[in-house]
Amino acid sequence: MTLTPEQQQAAQELLEKILERKEAIECLLEHIDRIYESGILVALSALLENFDEGFNSLAKPDLMAALANIMLLIWMAGNLDHELLFQAAQTFPEAMRAARKEFEATPQRKPSLLELLRLMRQPEFYRLLRAMMTFLKALDKSEH
């Protein structure tokens, strides 16, 4: 095979670029070897061969709605106060155990009005009602 002077010049320039980036190219080849050995390359090839089928199955309205909801949940989690969420995460398991224990210990009968009034007089009950009202008012403001 005979190369024209222009082709020889282009080949020389390409060889120089390869030599300048020798370490990066070797690193890239090592990564390609690992991807091939792990089977990811075969899976990627299969995915690309059946891309239209896979895309069509992913583009279903139900799945797209679920993905949109997941993205919204991630966004919401990212906007929560970290310290408040951390404190809640630490206390939640014990609070759930205590609530379940109380639920199981509570007799399955209708409470009397006096029992309900005693419950309503507890400071935690009032704080819960205030928190719920604040939450509902904040939701109402966001709708306007």
Would you mind telling me the total number of residues written for the chain in this entry? Answer: 144
8-state DSSP, 109: S
For residue 57, the model assigns a pLDDT of 65
> What percentage of residues in the chain have a pLDDT greater than 70?
92
Residue 96 pLDDT more than 90? yes
Q: Is the pTM of this model over 0.85?
A: no
Least confident of 16-20, 53-57, 94-98, 128-132: 53-57
Per-residue confidence band for 10, with pLDDT thresholds at 50, 70 and 90? very high
**What is the distance between the alpha carbons of residues 118 and 123, in angstroms, rounded to a whole number?**
11
Mean pLDDT throughout 37-64? Answer: 76
For residue 134, the model assigns a pLDDT of 94
> Rounded to 5, what percent of the chain is helix, strand, coil?
85, 0, 15
Tens-place pLDDT, residues 71-80: 999 999 889 8
